[in-house]
Chain A
Amino acid sequence: MGRRRWNKKNPEKARAQQQQRRPEDGGDPPVRLLALQPNNSVVGVAMGNRVTFVNYQTGEEVRLEPAPNPQQAAAPSGGATASPATTAAPAAPHAGCPVRVLHFSPDGHFLLTGGDDKADQAAAAAAAAAAAAAAGSSWRCVAAWRTPKKTSAGGFSLDGAFALFVDKFGDVLVGRVPAAAAAAAVASGEGGGVGAAAGSGAARGGGEGVSSAGALEVPVSLLGHFCTIVTGVAPSPCGRFLATSDREYKVRVSVLPQDLLQGSYEIQGYCLGHQEFVSCIAFAVQQTNDAGDASVSASSARQPSVLLSGSGDGTVRVWDYCTCTELASYVASAPSAGAAAGTGDAVVAATATAAAGDGSSAPEEAGGGGELGDDEADGGAAEEGDDGGGDDDDDDGGNVDGEGEGEGVGGGGGDGDGGGFEEPQRRGKGPQCAPVLSLAVASDGCTVAVVVEGDDEIQLLSLDWTTHCLSLRQRLRWPDVRYPCQVAFGPMGHLWVVGGVPLPTAKSAHIGVAKRGSDGQFAVCTEELLPPPVRALLEVREEDEEAKLSEGGELFAYSKRLRKPAYDTEEMQNFKRKRNDYKETQRLAALRLRQDEQAKQKQQQQQQQQQQQQETSQQQGQEPHREGGGEVVVVKDEGKELMDTTAP
């Protein structure tokens, strides 16, 4: 009987045989995001479902209006005026799901937000600096898109006319952003983009027509990496190229056409060299004459610029993106084997906890992974061993940098997946080390801030434009910001950082500011810039989370999802066992064996009389199982071959 019929007859058995859902598919942990508006003094922090924008000079909070719902659009609210009236409650955008993208356009007019509700990617237009007061400190949404998959990163094109969305399946989508003066109705430009822009099966090429009722638009596919998580997207300063980075250790530089909706069909090249996933990219423009900002200006196209990328192998590399050659590489975090650290304070307690936590979480999820709750007893037990190992290695390797060197110990944590289906062990090609999470380039083009996961210190590097080399200039630590995860440079040259306890259930977000002193070094100045009430708006501090952290409860690594799972042969055999055709093969093989046995017995019983019949039955019948095939069985049935190759 067919499979479907059998499933109907035995629903319980069918459900038992069904593949269990992997824990990592349950959703990604929330992230902390930081965004600074160029030309203005607004800073935004997103943590999980919460997004807060504050103008730190005036101290007032800026509200974001959610995208207009198609259902509510029946009311003529799509007029040109900001209308908080109809949508009564000023609900946060992407209410209820983690925010993943928070990005300002280079000129500061627009803000792109994206969340796990793959609907509403609202680009709320931030009124420009001067007009902020007029708008009453509330930014309304001028464009909303429905993306087919959850976005993992986003950005704007250089002139701010297009918004780019990137998802975990490798698609880079583009949507047109209306000019600041336009009304809530979005210009239709989608029809022309269909020509070369047909994307993957999930993306809908060509947006739906948008009426002023504010129906959600569908972005057009621009380019795609093949089914891999795209982690960063950045337009080049000259505006001709777009750089995208993905989990497959690649950074791709593509040529952008004039109208992005046409799709990008030409690749400039691949910047290959990383040994692990690439987590962040940024362009650095050398400022020659004036100390002006690196925003869009006619001169920026002529100034030399390079592409920087940070990756899970702990390096930050400098690329010449026109020829796609690697210019320099800086090791931000070295693998635990042999890398002795020079300077830096040794905060051993934090180090050990961080190292042990990372060591236990990243390579081995024997404790049931960071997805599950805190009260996982065997998680604690497994991590005890890892804690010990992590501490030992930390002390031996002289790890005083507070980097997550303990991840190198993860080999020791490889003992015993607990029963059931836990997270697979994730391993990279190179040795394990703490990944670079985020990097930011200052507007002078010479300073780069690098965040290494698990490290409380941020490394400030200086980029030498003659040799294109990166060298460490300073390690900066904020006393009250733990586990920074994103950095950004503000328009005034301040360095902002956001961080927080990397627990999956954490809600805290710490924020810190530093400014460059006269000696060129950065010094913490959080209190000056953010008076306590302002700071309270942005930050969320939860005391118990800090306590949980020092206990060494489960931590998750931000980058865990970006590592590729490595299955050992036993697990692969497990998977195969559930495969339908595999089971069928085994069943048929067993069947044939039994039939062979019976035939042999018959043969032995009646040797002389049935000689001829045996011959014919052997010709037409089944061939016994051959040992050369290993686990693959060849069966011949009446001259017709089963399990033949049907399509390569």
Chain B
Amino acid sequence: MSWFSSRLNHAQEVTHPRKRFYRARAHCNPLNVTDFDVPTRPEEFDWYGTPLVRFVDIGCGFGGLLVKLSTIYPDTLMLGMEIRDKVSAYVRERIAALRREHPGSYRNASVLRTNAMKYLPNYFKKGQLTKMFFLFPDPHFKAANHRRRIINSHLLTEYAHLLAPGGWLYTISDVPELGEWMVAKLDAHPLFERVSEEELESDPAAGLLATSSEEGQKVARNGGATFRNVYRRLPTPRGLPQPPQAAVKP
């Protein structure tokens, strides 16, 4: 029994989960020491014989992007990681309902409840992922909390380790300052290079970034602007231009 289809049941009517029963607080402190069942090694996690996961949505929220991607890339396994308990339960129920509704589809998407900032290397091997998605991450405005931002130089090193060379890292945000921050960090990392807009136009996943997730739909409803930045993981580090003497604030 494949892990991805383990939630299949034979109910006659398909009831989708209702968000109002799964509402949770928006912010979850990623530094919390909560006991997740984290595998010691990627090999020790029971993937039920499925091929390797290739797409990861970090902070998948209510799963909007996952379900859209699942139909566009039906042969690629994709995983959403969400730290909030209720919300990850919602995504699980949603995917189960979709599988019942469309038999044969949505078998390639699933969700994990875990702290992605700490435990990504426990789940994925080096160079396993080909796409990573960071949709509307928490801005953490206070300077003291900047270390909790999901895109920072140290975590970029980890993401580069998990992304296969040539893999893409998608980010989008509606906070301008966060968008600039992410661009600055990604530009400063020698293993990442910006993907041009022309390439983005032809990429189906990039088009989904702005409106597929619930957060993106809310931003569109409120008429906000979004800042999309997609970067490619390079096989070899590029040389960085030496900055001027002024110290760059990290």
- Show the binding face of A for B, using Cβ within 8 Å: 169-171, 191-192, 194-208, 221, 223-228, 248-250, 254, 263-267, 269-270, 272-275, 564-566, 581, 626, 628-629, 632, 634, 643-648
Contact = CB atoms under 8 A, between A and B. Distances in A.
B137 A206 contact: no
A275 B38 CA distance: 11
Contact of A269 (B126, B155, B214): B126
Given A199-B154, A200-B147, A203-B250, A626 B25 contact: no
A564 B118 contact: no
B145 A267 contact: no
Contacts of B20: 626, 628-629, 634
A645 B152 CA distance: 23
A475 to B, nearest CB: 29
Interface of B: 20-21, 23-27, 30-31, 33, 35, 40-41, 59-62, 82, 86-87, 117-119, 121-122, 126, 135-139, 143-148, 152-158, 160-161, 184-185, 188-191, 213-215, 218, 237, 240-243, 245, 247-250
A265 B247 contact: no
Given A195-B240, A196-B190, A205-B248, A267 B40 contact: no
A70 B42 CA distance: 50
Contacts of B145: 201
Given A206-B248, A646-B26, A196 B240 contact: yes
A566 B87 CA distance: 23
A265 B153 CA distance: 8
B138 A647 contact: yes
B237 A629 contact: no
A647 B136 contact: yes
Contact of A226 (B25, B118, B243): B118
Nearest to A172: B154
B179 to A, nearest CB: 13
B34 to A, nearest CB: 8
Contacts of A274: 40
Nearest to A273: B40
Question: Which interface residue of A170, A197, A205, A264 has the most chain B CB atoms within 10 A?
Answer: A205
B121 A196 contact: no
B33 to A, nearest CB: 5
Given A196-B188, A202-B147, A645 B154 contact: no
Given A204-B247, A205-B248, A263-B153, A226 B23 contact: no
B119 to A, nearest CB: 8
Given A205-B250, A648-B59, 13 more contacts: A192-B242, A195-B241, A198-B188, A223-B157, A250-B121, A254-B157, A267-B160, A565-B33, A629-B21, A645-B26, A646-B26, A647-B27, A648-B61
Nearest to A579: B25
A267 B155 CA distance: 11
B137 A201 contact: no
Contacts of A203: 250
Contacts of B156: 265
Contact of B250 (A199, A227, A273, A626): A199
B147 A265 contact: no
A203 B184 CA distance: 17
A202 B30 CA distance: 17
A249 B136 contact: no
Given A199-B250, A205-B249, A648-B136, A634 B23 contact: yes
A25 to B, nearest CB: 14
A207 B241 CA distance: 18
21 contacts: A192-B242, A196-B189, A199-B250, A200-B154, A200-B250, A208-B247, A221-B153, A265-B153, A265-B160, A269-B161, A272-B40, A272-B121, A566-B35, A626-B21, A632-B23, A644-B26, A645-B61, A645-B215, A647-B136, A647-B139, A648-B61
Contacts of B136: 647-648
Nearest to A645: B26
Given A198-B250, A228-B118, A648 B215 contact: yes
B40 A169 contact: no
A194 to B, nearest CB: 5
Contacts of B241: 195
Contact of A225 (B40, B146, B154): B154
A170 B87 CA distance: 29
B247 A205 contact: yes
A648 B26 contact: yes
Contacts of A249: 40
Contacts of B148: 227
Contacts of B86: 632
Contacts of B62: 645
Contact of B157 (A194, A264, A566, A645): A264
Question: Which interface residue of A170, A203, A264, A266 has the most chain B CB atoms within 10 A?
Answer: A266
A643 B25 contact: yes
Contacts of B158: 226, 267
Question: Which interface residue of B33, B241, B248 has the most chain A CB atoms within 10 A?
Answer: B33
Contact of B189 (A207, A227, A265, A275): A265
A564 B32 CA distance: 10
Nearest to A206: B247
A354 to B, nearest CB: 27
B185 A198 contact: yes
A648 B247 contact: no
Contacts of B143: 201
Question: Which interface residue of A192, A221, A270, A275 has the most chain B CB atoms within 10 A?
Answer: A270
A278 B173 CA distance: 36
B190 A265 contact: yes
B157 A266 contact: yes
Contacts of B215: 645, 647-648
Given A202-B147, A629-B23, A267 B161 contact: yes
Contact of B122 (A272, A581, A648): A272
Nearest to A225: B154
Contacts of B137: 647-648
Complex A-B, nearest 3 residue pairs according to Cβ-Cβ distance, in ascending order = A224-B154, A201-B146, A206-B247
Contact of A195 (B41, B122, B243): B243
A632 B241 CA distance: 51
A195 B239 CA distance: 10
B240 A647 contact: no
Contacts of B30: 227
Nearest to B139: A647
B245 A191 contact: yes
Question: Which interface residue of A196, A628, A629 has the most chain B CB atoms within 10 A?
Answer: A196
B86 to A, nearest CB: 7
Contacts of A198: 153, 184-185, 188, 248, 250
Question: Which interface residue of A207, A628, A646 has the most chain B CB atoms within 10 A?
Answer: A646
A274 B44 CA distance: 13
Contacts of B243: 191, 194-195
Contacts of B152: 200
A254 B160 CA distance: 12
Contacts of A224: 153-154, 157
A130 B129 CA distance: 55
B26 A647 contact: yes
A628 B89 CA distance: 14
B213 to A, nearest CB: 8
A254 B126 CA distance: 13
A192 B190 CA distance: 14
A298 to B, nearest CB: 27
B111 to A, nearest CB: 13
Contacts of A629: 20-21, 23
